[in-house]
Amino acid sequence: MHNSVVLGLVILLAIAFDFTNGFHDTANSVAPTIATKALPPRIAVGLSAILNLVGAFLSLKIAATIASGIVDQTHVTLAVVFAGLAGAICWNLTTWYFTLPSSSSHALIGGVIGATIASAGSAGVLWHGVVSKVVVPGVLAPLIALVLAGIATRICRGLLAGTGVQERGIGLRIAQIGASSLQSIAHGTNDAQKTMGVLTLALIANGTIATDSTTPSWVVITCAVAMGLGTFIGGWRIIRTMGHGFTELDPVAGLSAQLSSSVTILTSSHFGLSLSTTYVATGSVIGTGVATKGRAVRWGLAGRAGIAWLITLPVAGLVGALAYGVEALLGATFGAIVLGSVVALYSGSLFWLASRSPVTSSNVNEPWSTELGLEQVEAGA
């Protein structure tokens, strides 16, 4: 059933989600580079924004997974897509406000699944695809990244043990910039495509394109640009958590974390597996701390991130289901307008609250013991 008004609102909300995805996940690529001062903060996020944009054009396998491998397209309506996006944005901004790395990907997938269940029941979800292409990679990938980062850290420290301090500094800085660039490209190949897939679902649901259509070029370009702009804004609250919260990063650890994350993410993108780039990056950072003798890991903070990891899919799904219920009660068009207004109000409130205790490019490298934002700094950590 065609509804140009709701379709237009879905497109706007999808762009808004991709923008929040960009600044929420900026930390995945640049936090180690900024924490070790390999690049100044603004230059780091600018480079990452450009390369995220490039990465978004390299593959469409993840977009195809989201469009056809998670929910049954015959049960998807514009109201379902809109509700799913609303749930994803609300969860994304909530975790950003509380400085917690969480999965934008799982938030989006959870929101769409919840809205689909509310609309068509569990039969509308392709559970085999959810388990094999979302849940299993989502659980295994961070653990694999943690182990890879630990091994890489040990190897790098062994190889560099006999080199001079100055030589190590220059070489590692160049290598870390390269690894950060690779990780930014990897993020673009994975995360930008998830919104592309959701927009493709919306276009199919509206009858704008055929069921077996590939992702239109304008969708690819729009999502890539939105994510690039979001990345350029810089999610400084989460960058600080990722760069200084879990463990202290030196150039060797930063390089090892970014290489491990890049390998894991690019491998998943090649096979069309929709994993969380955030949890991969988090696992890699923690892995470097575990592998470094005498380096503390703040397990309390890691535990909070782990809880967010576990509840993102169900919480976003619940919000998506509630949002669909509102649309069903008020009607597709009026319901979408009301929901969009609520999301905008909620988002604005969080941005206002965050502005009262800002984390910016100028203080993102403050010591973790310095109180900023809503961080719960562990005593003695």
pLDDT (tens digit per residue) in 120-137 = 898 889 898 888 878 888
Residue 95: CB atoms within 10 A of its CB come to 23
Mean pLDDT of the chain: 84
Q: What is the DSSP letter of 25?
A: S
- Higher confidence at residue 101 or residue 73? 101
User: Which three-class secondary structure state does DSSP give residue 296?
Assistant: coil
What per-residue confidence (pLDDT) applies to 227?
87
What confidence category does residue 57 fall into, taking pLDDT thresholds of 50, 70 and 90?
confident
How confident is the model over 229-253, as a mean pLDDT?
Answer: 89
Identify the band that residue 381 occupies on the pLDDT scale cut at 50, 70 and 90: very low
The distance between the two most distant Cα atoms of the chain, rounded to a whole number of Å, is: 69
* Percentage of residues in the chain having pLDDT higher than 90: 25
What pLDDT is stored for residue 372 in this prediction? 53
Domain ranges of the chain: 4-355
| Dihedral (CA of 157, 159, 164, 167) sign | negative
CA distance 64 to 269: 11
Q: Provide mean pLDDT across the span 172-199.
A: 82
Q: What is the pLDDT of residue 202?
A: 86
pLDDT of residue 60: 60
Q: Is the pLDDT of residue 205 over 70?
A: yes
In the predicted structure, residue 374 carries a pLDDT above the cut 50: no
Residue 282 · residue 138 · CB < 8 Å? no
Q: Hunting for tokens 């077996």 — which residue is that? A: 212
Lowest mean pLDDT among 198-212, 216-230, 260-274: 260-274
40 contacts: CB under 8 Å, gap ≥ 6: none
Q: Read off the tokens for 291.
A: 């592998």
Q: Is 71 helix (H, G, I), strand (E, B) or coil?
A: strand
pLDDT tier for residue 162 given thresholds of 50, 70 and 90: low
Is it the case that residue 201 has pLDDT exceeding 70? yes
The whole model's pTM is what?
Answer: 0.83
Examine the pLDDT at 44 and tell me if it is beyond 90.
yes
What pLDDT was estimated at residue 323? Answer: 92
How much is the pLDDT for 373?
A: 47
Query: 3-class SS at 246?
Result: coil
CA angle 316, 317, 321 (to 5 degrees): 120
Rounded CA-CA distance 264/148 in Å is 9
Q: Residue 378 pLDDT more than 70? A: no
For the stretch 299-329, what's the b/e string if a residue is b when 16 or more beta carbons lie within 10 angstroms of its beta carbon? eebbebbeebbeebbebbbbbbbbbbebbee
Q: What is the pLDDT of residue 118?
A: 93
Instruction: Report the pLDDT value the prediction gives residue 164, as an integer from 0 to 100.
Output: 59
Predicted local distance difference test score (pLDDT) of residue 278: 83
Q: Which pLDDT band, with edges at 50, 70 and 90, does 348 fall under?
A: very high
DSSP state of 40: -
- Looking at residue 165, what is its pLDDT? 53
Average of pLDDT values for 252-257?
A: 90
Q: Which of 52-61, 108-117, 279-288, 331-340 has the lowest mean pLDDT?
A: 52-61
The lowest-confidence range among 1-15, 153-167, 281-295 is 153-167
- 297 within 8 A of 246, measured Cβ to Cβ: yes
Asked whether the predicted pLDDT for residue 167 surpasses 70, the reply is no
User: What pLDDT was estimated at residue 353?
Assistant: 92
